[in-house]
Amino acid sequence: MLIRVNAEWSWNYLRPFLFYLSVSLISYLANFEKKLQMGLKHDQIKDHFFSSPLTIGQFADKYCETYGFASGKQMQKMMSKYGIVSKERARIRLENLPKAQIQSIDFGEIDNFGIEESIGKEYTSARLPEQYKKIGILSDIHVPFHSVEAVVCAIKHLREQEIDCLYLNGDTFDFYSISRHEKEKDLRDFPREIEMCRNFLQKLRDLFPNIPIYFKAGNHENRYQRYLNEQAEEFAQLHEMQFDKFFRMDVLDIKFVPDWQGMEMGDLLVVHGHEIMAGGMNPSQTTFNKTFCNTLLGHVHRTTNTIKKDGFKRFIHTYSTGCLTQLSPKYYPFAQHNNGFAIVTIADGKSKVDNIMIKDGKIV
Ligand SMILES: [Fe+2]
């Protein structure tokens, strides 16, 4: 009887204790599981971050959703708490760098001491094939803001002069609709602009069916690539979206001269002009001070000529050509622009330039 009473008493006494023990065990196991999962997640985040080139802020913003955090800030806080930080990543990377070893090489046998080639790209100029002797140069047409009467005047003259090569020296197209500058709503019509540019190239090919046409990219043509890079990076990689393809230059047999590349015509260097930032009161004088060689450029929309003689009695000629666009645009009404174009004639490797001005649709 006494034993039974004691047993009952013990059981009654032990029951809550056992219950508490079971609950604690279950809770402990649940926490353990949670901690295990958290630990695994931290390890995963740590491995991911340590192999990533992103800063901790960029990383947290980019992957917070992937790892189940409410925000980048929250994820970054957790990462800092557990030592998943840039400093630690840098330390580990430094530790794992292969140790420098002094190699025994006979440097006398190697021209460049084995130093790798530079990945930098330098400005270059191509050379116009020698067979072209009379080159018509049209610059800064700025379609669709071209001056019809100036363009017609220039083309008429070039046809009469029977040029054997046509060189479009940059800013042939304006790309107003995709420029970074503020745009007038009424003038912004990109499809129409593109259509007019394509039609213009087609027209040039029809007017000069038997001679090579070169299309040099100027600073305005750069707007096309910049816009694609900034607004539609994926499209920028497509073959069909490359500038020359987009304007069907392969179909029209027009040769594309990329930006940052000049063209040598005899002893004359022809550039668009933005490359050498030739402005000021007399752009051809500024050009001389920069290139010190016979140079012709567009870009400044003004006809100017400079002749200088060096110490060896050699004459150096520099020219800026007029444009074929409207002369007093709304954004720059009092610009000292004039219409014009040029013809380069080459004989015995020497170039002669007729820098022609147009006034009121006529050559002056
Ligand atoms: Fe221009």
Question: How far is the centre of ligand 1, averaged over its atoms, from the C-alpha of 164 (Å)?
Answer: 25
Same domain, 79 and 130: no
Instruction: Look at residue 241 and tell me whether its pLDDT is greater than 90.
Output: yes
Same domain, 242 and 320: yes
- For the chain, the residue count is 364
pLDDT of 184 reads 66
Question: How far is the centre of ligand 1, averaged over its atoms, from the C-alpha of 212 (Å)?
Answer: 23
Q: How many CB atoms sit inside 10 A of residue 270's CB?
A: 31
Question: How far is the centre of ligand 1, averaged over its atoms, from the C-alpha of 234 (Å)?
Answer: 29
pLDDT of 105 reads 77
Q: Does 103 reside within a domain?
A: no
pLDDT of 99 reads 83
Instruction: Look at residue 2 and tell me whether its pLDDT is greater than 60.
Output: no
Same domain, 226 and 178: yes
Same domain, 87 and 180: no
Write the CATH number for 193: 3.60.21.50
pLDDT tens-digit series, residues 82-116: 899 999 999 998 888 888 887 777 877 777 887 88
pLDDT tens-digit series, residues 60-79: 999 999 999 999 999 999 89
Same domain, 80 and 175: no
- Residue 350 — pLDDT band, cuts 50, 70, 90? very high
Same domain, 48 and 176: no
pLDDT tens-digit series, residues 168-206: 999 999 988 888 776 566 677 889 999 999 999 999 999
Q: How many CB atoms sit inside 10 A of residue 345's CB?
A: 16
- Residue 30 — pLDDT band, cuts 50, 70, 90? low
Domains held by the chain: number: 2
Torsions phi, psi for 137 (to 5 deg): -120, 115
- Residue 351 — pLDDT band, cuts 50, 70, 90? very high
Question: How far is the centre of ligand 1, averaged over its atoms, from the C-alpha of 237 (Å)?
Answer: 27
- Residue 220 — pLDDT band, cuts 50, 70, 90? very high
Question: How far is the centre of ligand 1, averaged over its atoms, from the C-alpha of 141 (Å)?
Answer: 7
Q: Which percentage of the chain shows pLDDT scores above 90?
A: 65
Same domain, 207 and 293: yes
**Where is average pLDDT lowest: 23-37, 130-144, 170-184, 206-220?**
23-37
pLDDT tens-digit series, residues 261-307: 999 999 999 999 999 887 788 999 999 999 999 999 999 999 999 99
Question: How far is the centre of ligand 1, averaged over its atoms, from the C-alpha of 122 (Å)?
Answer: 24
pLDDT of 177 reads 82
Question: How far is the centre of ligand 1, averaged over its atoms, from the C-alpha of 103 (Å)?
Answer: 55
Question: How far is the centre of ligand 1, averaged over its atoms, from the C-alpha of 339 (Å)?
Answer: 12
pLDDT of 364 reads 94
Using the Cα atoms of residue 82, residue 86, residue 87 and residue 89 in order, give the sign of their dihedral: positive
Residue 260 burial (C-beta neighbours within 10 Å; 0-12, 13-18, 19+) = middle
pTM score over 0.85: no
Residue 207: strand, helix, or coil: helix
Question: How far is the centre of ligand 1, averaged over its atoms, from the C-alpha of 142 (Å)?
Answer: 7
- Residue 6 — pLDDT band, cuts 50, 70, 90? low
The domain in which residue 44 lies consists of: 2-94
pLDDT of 102 reads 79
Same domain, 142 and 25: no
Question: How far is the centre of ligand 1, averaged over its atoms, from the C-alpha of 250 (Å)?
Answer: 24
Question: How far is the centre of ligand 1, averaged over its atoms, from the C-alpha of 168 (Å)?
Answer: 12
Q: Does 112 reside within a domain?
A: no
Question: How far is the centre of ligand 1, averaged over its atoms, from the C-alpha of 170 (Å)?
Answer: 7
Compute the distance between CA of residue 43 and CA of residue 79 in angstroms, rounded to an integer: 11
Compute the distance between CA of residue 217 and CA of residue 169 in angstroms, rounded to an integer: 7
